[in-house]
A and B are shown apart, each in its own frame.
Chain A
């Protein structure tokens, strides 16, 4: 079964850091670009960051550029999101999502598999 399982969320003070992980199973992880998408409480979906299948290309929303770092370890089938200098407005459920295409390159908005999400709360 194709599956994504996130972890690493929690409560952190403004200015703090968290590292999210997303373990993939049931597919050839390195063949697919991956993304992080977040959803603030009661709000819509917001793309946060994306990475190519090889990990050689990374992309960020302006709202997180310079603070968040996406990476992947294809030997461990794991996607990461290092979040630094966290702000109250970063409070959200963070989902990892798999690209539909097996091209490995990044450049679409078609996410066929989503994890269950991990909650990040930034509050003092």
Chain B
């Protein structure tokens, strides 16, 4: 049981906009910055969004993050086949005094 809650799966067709949610609490998302990671099949995770809505260099602006209260969302617009991957949210947790991850969402591009 992960501290952060994500839907196990999501899907969309090429060109569509999809969102992935991440629900937490006041001890993590409600207080600290939210981060999102993309893990393509067979590869290491990659930082996709940090500080709620910042993109590292090289990440397309099709990817965006937002946060409201104790929940966060990752939005992917103009969905492409290469976006098919697992997506994880993560935040610092002040109760556990450690980083915590969501269980991951498998995105399928139909």
Question: B32-67 vs A: 1/0 string, CB under 8 Å?
Answer: 110101010000111100110000100000000000
Minimal beta-carbon separation of B20 from chain A (angstroms): 14
A107 CB within 8 Å of chain B: yes
Do B90 and A109 touch (CB < 8 A)?
A: yes
Decide: A46 near B101, CB < 8 A? Known: A95-B45, A116-B44.
Answer: yes
**Could you tell me the distance between the alpha carbons of A81 and B27 in the complex, rounded to whole angstroms?**
28
Give the interface centre of B2, B35, B97 by most chain A CB atoms within 10 Å: B35
A35 CB within 8 Å of chain B: yes
Minimal beta-carbon separation of A43 from chain B (angstroms): 8
Give the interface centre of B91, B98, B104 by most chain A CB atoms within 10 Å: B98
Number of interface residues of B (CB under 8 A): 26
Do A108 and B101 touch (CB < 8 A)?
A: no
Do A50 and B98 touch (CB < 8 A)?
A: yes
Do A47 and B99 touch (CB < 8 A)?
A: yes
Do A44 and B98 touch (CB < 8 A)?
A: no
Do B47 and A111 touch (CB < 8 A)?
A: yes
User: In chain A, residues 88-124, which have Cβ atoms closer than 8 Å to a Cβ of chain B?
Assistant: 95, 100, 107-112, 114-117
A interface residues, Cβ below 8 angstroms from B:
35, 37, 44-47, 50, 59, 61, 95, 100, 107-112, 114-117
30 contacts between A and B (CB under 8 A): A35-B99, A37-B45, A44-B2, A44-B86, A44-B88, A44-B101, A44-B103, A44-B104, A45-B88, A45-B90, A47-B99, A47-B101, A59-B97, A59-B98, A100-B50, A107-B92, A108-B92, A108-B99, A109-B32, A109-B33, A109-B35, A109-B91, A109-B100, A109-B101, A110-B90, A111-B35, A111-B37, A112-B47, A112-B50, A114-B44
